[in-house]
Structure 1
């Protein structure tokens, strides 16, 4: 089990499994707010401190909310506004041990323009 947290520790996350691939996106939000991102089925990541210690930001097509800690401002994860069976949420791997980040293949995604992976 991998556990991570925002800088101040008010929001804690526990991954359901070890990720093998992460995404580094260059969209206007991700390039400012963090990553790399790993994805899990919605509800499978244990998140403590949410929603009482978090604030969300909804932008663009208004299908996702990006979540950050109210105290330290670290972006911890994103989740769908209208969860449906099998949907995903993203977890900011930057809130975990650097050794975990180093062990994961990070793919570059062009979310700013082509909406395609650009590392192949």
Structure 2
């Protein structure tokens, strides 16, 4: 089992994902700009630690968990986007994602990479 850890540039926000299955490259407008490789998981598998202020940007126009949109979270000090959270409460299996691009290269290389069409079809393309 692989554990993914990562941090923003200044180290004020760190995360641990206990068991990511894959990294996801999404082509929606937000994810393209963030340059993220998302590692999705249930809330109880991911730990976020923030030692400083955060910036929360809600994209309600994006389909997301329960179609309530996503809240992209970034470090207010260095500006790096570390994760996203659901904008609205979810049902039986709440989840979020951390930015796996902030993890160590060897861990990134050990995880399968999938491409997701978040711009059009909301399906995996591979």
TM bucket (normalised to shorter chain) is 0.7 to 0.9
With normalisation by structure 2, the TM-score equals: 0.84
Map of 1:110 onto structure 2: 117
Q: Answer whether contact 1:42 1:79 (CA < 8 A) is retained.
A: no
Map of 2:105 onto structure 1: 98
1:95 Cα deviation after fit: 1.1
Q: Does 1:64 align with 2:70?
A: yes
> 21-30 or 78-87, which moves further after superposition?
78-87
With normalisation by structure 1, the TM-score equals: 0.87
Map of 1:42 onto structure 2: 43
Structure 1 runs (4+) deviating above 4 angstroms are none
* Runs of at least 5 residues in structure 2 that lack an aligned partner in the other structure: 63-67
* Runs of at least 5 residues in structure 1 that lack an aligned partner in the other structure: none
Count of residue pairs brought into register by the alignment: 117
Distance 1:43 1:106 in 2: 23
Map of 1:10 onto structure 2: 12
Whose helix fraction is larger, Structure 1's or Structure 2's?
2
1:45 Cα deviation after fit: 1.2
